[in-house]
Amino acid sequence: MTVNTTVLDALIVGGGFGGVYQLKRLREEGYSVKLVDMASDYAGVWFWNRYPGARVDSAIPHYEYSDPELWRDWNWTQRFPGSAELREYFSYVAEKWDLRKDTFFNTYISKAVWDEEVNRWQIESKDGKKFVARYLLLNTGFAAKRHTPDWKGIDKCAGLWIHPSYWSSKEPDLKGKKIAVIGTGSTGVQLAQELSQVASEFVLFQRTPNMALPMKQIEYSRNDKSITEERYNEVFKGRHASFGGFDFNFYPHDTLSDDAETRRAVYEELWSHGDFKFWLANYQDMIFREDANSEAYKFWKSKVRSRVKDPRCQEILAPEKQPYSFGCKRISLENGFYEIFNQSSVSLVDVNATPVVEVIKRGIKTTEKEWEFDVVVCATGFDAITGGLKDIDIRGVSGVKLADK
C-alpha cells in the first residue's frame, strides 16, 4: 500500500441525491467515508444538465430531502425548479451538512478491484488517486453515460453538435440560428419549448410520440414559505405508500364502472391539476387493462390535437391509432410544447416515415431531403442504468469483470 492511498470503511462514487445522503448517514454511524465525483461540485445529473429549459418534473417537496433541518430554512421559487436552482439547493445542503471536508471533486474513478486476501476494494482514479475500502457505493445514476446514435458521417458535422448533458456553462448564442433537436424524451421536449422561441428555423426529429402531460408550473417567492410544515409531513409520509413515490395514488375505481360523463369529469380534474396526476392518480385499472388504457389515451389525444392546428403534425404527435400503452413509457411534463408546432418557423420530422440517412457537413440528410443547420442538439438519451457502471473497470471475486456478467 502506497503512502498516498486513502484507507476507508466506505468510498461513495457520485455526488447526487443518493451519494450525498449516504455520506451524511455513514458519518453519523461512525464510518470513515469519503465521496468522490468527476464534477467540480455536488448535484449529480443537475451539475451537467444546463441546457435551456432544464428542470425537474417531480413537484417539490417530493424532490428534496425530508430532513427538517433543510426544508425549514429553504424556500423554492417554483413548483418545478430549474437546474440552476437545484445546484443552489445542493450548495445549501453541503453547507448545512458540512460535506465538503469529506469530498474529492474532479475525480473520475476508473478502476475498482476486489482484493480477496484482505477483503477490500482497491480503487483508482484517472488522476492517480488510490483508495482502499471495505464498501464501494456506486451512485453513478441512470444517466451517467451519454448515448449518441451511430449515424454515418456524425463525426464530420461542421456545425455545432451538442449532447444536452455537455451543455456549456457559457451559454452559446443561438438567437436567429437554424437549430435541430433530435429526440422527444423529456430533454427533447424541454429543449424544443425553449429553442423554438429563439431559432430562425427550428426542426424537431421524432421517432416515438411522447405522451406528455401539462406541467402547470407555479411561481413561488423565495422570501415566503409557500409550503406549510403540515404539507411537508403529508408529502414525506405519502410518498412511502404510493405506487409512483408521490403523495397521491390511483383512483380506487375501475375506468368502465363510470359512465362517459363521469369519466370525463375525473379526467378533467386530473388534467387541470397538472403534474403526473393524469398518469399516477388515474383509474386503478388504467395501466393494467387495455380497454381502460385506451380510454385514457383517447382523452389525452383529444386534448393534444385541440392544441395543434396542422393535421399532419396532429397525426405525428398524437396518432389516431394508439402507438403504445399510455404510461408504459416515461411521460414528460410540458409547458406549451404542442403549441410550438403552430409556428411557421417550426417543422416536425417523423423519422419512421423519413429516416435519417447520414449526417452531412451542413446538417442532416433524410430519405426526403437535406436539412441545413447551424446547431444540432442530440437529445438521444443515455446508456441508461448500467452505462455508468460499465465505464468503470470493476472486477469482483476471481477477477471477473462486472461488464462481462
Cell of 303: 386534448
* pLDDT given at position 151: 85
Half-sphere exposure of 167 (CA within 13 A, CB side): 25
* pLDDT given at position 160: 80
Cell of 237: 409520509
Nearest to 385 by CA among 149, 44, 140: 140
CA 143 to chain centre: 8
Nearest to 377 by CA among 204, 257, 259: 204
Q: What is the pLDDT of residues 59-111, one digit of tens each?
A: 999 999 999 999 999 999 999 999 999 999 999 999 999 999 999 999 999 99
What are the φ and ψ backbone dihedral angles of 7, each rounded to 5 degrees?
-100, 130
Residues in the chain predicted with pLDDT less than 70, given as ranges, are 1-3, 143-145, 158-159, 382-385
Taking the C-alpha atoms of residue 70 and residue 99, their distance in angstroms, rounded to an integer, is 14
Which 8-state DSSP code applies to residue 303? H
Q: Which residues pair with 378 in a beta bridge?
A: 182
Which 8-state DSSP code applies to residue 114? E
Taking the C-alpha atoms of residue 82 and residue 70, their distance in angstroms, rounded to an integer, is 19
Long-range contacts of 23-28 (CB under 8 A, 24+ apart): 23/97, 23/99, 23/102, 23/103, 24/97, 24/99, 27/102
* pLDDT given at position 3: 56
* 3-class secondary structure, 136: strand
CA dihedral (213, 218, 222, 225) positive or negative: negative
CB proximity list for 152: less than 8 A, separation 6 or greater: 357, 358, 359
Taking the C-alpha atoms of residue 311 and residue 118, their distance in angstroms, rounded to an integer, is 67
* pLDDT given at position 158: 62
* pLDDT given at position 383: 67
Cell of 192: 424544443
